[in-house]
Amino acid sequence: MLNVKASIVAQKLLNLYRQEHVIFGGWAAVNQVFIAEATPEVIDALRELPTGRSLARHIENLRTGKTPLDSIERELLPYGGAMSESIATTPIDASGWRELESVIAEFTPDQEGLARLEESPVIKKFGPEWIVGIRSALAGNTQLQQKWDVVAQTYRAYTLWNSATEILNTPISDRVRAQLQVDMPEYETYLPMFGASGTELLGKLRTFVSSVKPNPNQSTASESISAESASADVL
């Protein structure tokens, strides 16, 4: 029988693996976590999870030096590299490049900045996976990639803010509660970026996660917190 703690860590690592495209620092950041936290017990737990075997192989490659610490072998990409395949077909002409550079340069790390960026025609070309697509398109351009990491970080922060608020306002199942426990490290990373409001929301989320049973009246927990409470600048 698998160790419960190892299973929780394995699920967390698998979530990072699947969400690398929206995590600040990309593979260079998540690979450090993989190496630090993937004990033999966690590796065993990974092999029991869907796509976990691929992540286990990737971690082995990192530890042997086969794969650089800021990379991953193409055959081990999440979703079988399907995202990368579709992204590669998105063409950008010279005019599109100028527009892309302009919207990235003008980006502000707040809700208004995200809204303006998402309305840009060049961003819309990449469809719903625009965060991943543009990061791929910027490959080789370190300066723009660093600026794009700020966009990805801001996007993830607001996504988790909205998710946390929804969880507190809606009775959830034990399964969703368990998943929330796995995802807490990300909430603990991003919610404090919203200042006092984010810290308050994180505290409510921790209390909610630690409660014994789902509370059908939990919606009152976030009455004092709304999207408008978020800081205008998360960075």
What tens digit of pLDDT does each residue of 159-212 get? 889 888 888 887 766 666 767 777 787 888 888 888 899 999 999 988 887 764
Helix, strand, coil percentages (3-state) for the chain, rounded to 5, are: 70, 0, 30
Compute the Cα dihedral for 2, 3, 8, 13 and give only its sign: negative
Cα separations in angstroms, 88 against 22, 66, 113, 209, 235: 18, 25, 26, 40, 30
pLDDT band at 61 (very low <50, low <70, confident <90, very high): very high
pLDDT band at 235 (very low <50, low <70, confident <90, very high): low
DSSP 193: G
pLDDT band at 220 (very low <50, low <70, confident <90, very high): very low
| CA separation for the pair 210, 121 (Å, rounded) | 44
Whether residue 134 is predicted with pLDDT greater than 70 in this model: the reply is yes
Residue 59 CA, distance from chain mean position: 19
Q: Residue 191: helix, strand or coil by DSSP?
A: helix
Res 218: pLDDT: 41
CB–CB of 62/35 below 8 Å?
A: yes
Whether residue 67 is predicted with pLDDT greater than 70 in this model: the reply is yes
Query: Is the model more confident about 146 or about 117?
Result: 117
Res 234: pLDDT: 59
Whether residue 81 is predicted with pLDDT greater than 70 in this model: the reply is no
Nearest to 86 by CA among 125, 57, 120: 125
Whether residue 8 is predicted with pLDDT greater than 60 in this model: the reply is yes
| CA separation for the pair 20, 90 (Å, rounded) | 20
Whether residue 225 is predicted with pLDDT greater than 80 in this model: the reply is no
Compute the average pLDDT of residues 32-52. 90
Average pLDDT over the chain, rounded to an integer: 80
CB proximity list for 76: less than 8 A, separation 6 or greater = 54, 55, 57, 58, 61
| CA separation for the pair 171, 218 (Å, rounded) | 6
Phi then psi for 46, rounded to 5 degrees?
Answer: -60, -40
| CA separation for the pair 195, 188 (Å, rounded) | 12
DSSP 227: G
Whether residue 89 is predicted with pLDDT greater than 70 in this model: the reply is no
| CA separation for the pair 168, 216 (Å, rounded) | 10
pLDDT band at 79 (very low <50, low <70, confident <90, very high): low
Query: Is the model more confident about 235 or about 131?
Result: 131
